[in-house]
Structure 1
Amino acid sequence: MASPKILKDIQKLTGRLTALSRFLDTSAQKAIPFFKLMKKGTPFKWESKCEDAFQDFKKVLAEPPILAKPQTREVLYLYLSIMEEELAAALVREDENKAQWPI
């Protein structure tokens, strides 16, 4: 995935990150440089902070997730993220510590 070049690319990227935010550690804080670029009246200027955050997300997303095996009769959670241009779904289980793991 190439670095965003225009505002529309940033909007698509933040939409995708929002869909995955449940599984990305402190994703909102790491995405602050992207949100600042989307402020109304702010000129689009892709700086090193933006590139660093973008590369960090790429690294995290390139690593395979640790999947969990569901147990018989266990309650599972389905998270949906629906936007104009995309749909995302995640099926997760919750352990005794309330940590959630993708199935």
Structure 2
Amino acid sequence: DGLLSFEGLSVDRSGTGFAIQFEATVGTTGSNTLLNVTRSFDIDFGLPYRLSIQAETNPEGAVPGSTLVQQPVILVQDVLGNTVSDQSGVVLVTAQLLEGGVPSAKA
């Protein structure tokens, strides 16, 4: 009947200006190609799922009583690792100093 349907199409990241191109080759020699492209669409990020430390901003240069030379940058990410640019639902983020992997009594 000329109808093709798809199930399970997905995109694994957020972004803008996505489109899907469909292509069919018809004819016994495959010499006729049919193309069609969807309208442009955007994919929004998911809900906040985890905090991630941006690798190049790990704290370093620590001197007691002074601020860290390199301050960490924390990213709020969805389940697929997309940075959630709207953190309106994030109420509070706290930091705790750990010594040897456990909370410090001095922090």
Tell me the TM-score normalised to structure 2 length: 0.19
Query: Which of the two has greater strand per residue?
Result: 2
Query: Which of the two has greater helix per residue?
Result: 1
